[in-house]
Amino acid sequence: MTTISRRTFMLAATAVGALALAGVAIAEVPKLEQKDKYKVGFAQTESNNPWRIAQTNSMKAEAEKLGFQLVYTDAAGSAAKQVADVNSMIAQGVDVIFLAPREEKPLIPAVMAAKKAGIPVILLDRSVDPSLAKAGEDYLTFIGSNFVEEGKRVAEWLVKNANGKSKIIELEGTTGSSPANDRKKGFDEAIKAAGGFEIVASQTGDFARDKGRQVAEALLQAHPDADVIYAHNDEMAIGAIAALEAAGKVPGKDVLVLSIDGGKEAVQAVVDGKIAAVVECNPRFGPKAFETMMRYAKGEKIDPMIINDDKFYDASNAAAELANAY
C-alpha cells in the first residue's frame, strides 16, 4: 500500500482548496490524512426513538473505543438545524463528517459546504437526492440498508401470509426522506405486481409513535374495512396498535400489522402476536462507519454504497431472536 508524506498531502489539499475557492467545481471527494487520532463529526437527525438512540450509541461507543474526539449534534427533527449543525462542525475543523440526512434535498447544501471546506462526508443510514449530489464525487459513500428491499420484503411476506386480508393502510415515514420514499416504492411495486391487494390510504406519520397513532386512528375511521397496516417503522406500528385497540380491534387477528426497524419492543410485539412481521433496519453503524473512514485515509478505494445486512422477524423466530434485538 502507498503512503504519502504529510507535506505531499498538504500540497495536494491546498491545491484542491484553491480550485474550490476559485469557484472551479472539483469532481473529487476531499482527501483524508492518515492520523492516529481524528476529530469526527456526527450530525444526527433526531433522537425521538430507539432506532436513533441505538445508532447514536453505536457511533459514540466506537469513537470512544478508538480514542477519537466525536463532535455530536442532534438536529431535533429539523433539516434547517441539521444544515447549521454541519456548518458548525466545519467551523470547528473536524476531519470527517458522518451525516444522517433527515431529508433528501434540504441537506444538499450541507454536503456541498463540507466538500468546499475540504472535509469528506460519509452518509449514514439516509441518503440525499442522487441527481443533486453523488457518491465518490460530492460525498464519499452511503452506508446503510437497502430501503427499497426492506419494503419489498414486507410485501413478499404479506403476499404469502395474507390469508384473505387485502385492504392496506400505509403509514409513511418523514416526507422527503429516503427511507420513506424507498420503503414506499419497494412495498407498493411488489404489492401491485402480486395483484389482489389495494392500498386504501397512504399518509405520513413522520416516523413518530404518536403521529402514527393519530393518523392510524383517522384512517381506520375512514376505512373501517382495512385489514392490513404497513408502517414504515416500529414507532408508527406501535402507535397503530394503540389506535386499533382503542377502536376495539384485535391487532394480529382483525388487522395484520407490518413494520420495519426491529427494535426490542416491536420484536416483543411479534412474540405477543400484535405485529405480524418486521424487517430489521440495522442501526449498529459504529464499527463499519469508522472502519470505512480509516480505509479511505489509507488510500483504499471505497464503494459508493455499503449495504448493511438486515434480519427478518415473524412468529417463526421472534422469541429466539428477542435477546439480540436492539
Q: Are 267 and 302 in contact (CB under 8 A)?
A: no
Residue burial 23-43, b: 16+ Cβ < 10 Å; e: rest: eeebeebbbbeeeeebbbbbb
With respect to ligand AHR, which residue has the nearer C-beta, 237 or 255? 237
| 8 Å CB contact between 303 and 6 | no
DSSP symbol at 308: P
CA distances from 69 to 62, 90, 109 (A): 11, 14, 25
Task: For the CB of residue 319, give the shortest distance to ligand AHR in the complex, in Å.
Answer: 23
For binding to ligand AHR (CB under 6 A), which residues are involved? 49, 51-52, 125-126, 179, 207, 233, 235, 260-261, 281
Please identify, using beta-carbon distances, which residue of 52 and 152 lies nearer to ligand AHR: 52
Please say whether the beta carbons of 28 and 137 come within 8 A.
yes
Closest to ligand AHR by CB, 231 vs 293, is 231
Q: How far is the CB of 215 from ligand AHR (least distance, A)?
A: 16
Q: Which is nearer to ligand AHR, 32 or 236 (CB)?
A: 236
User: Among residues 178 and 292, whose Cβ is nearest to ligand AHR?
Assistant: 178
Dihedral over alpha carbons 200, 167, 222, 229 (to 10 degrees):
-100
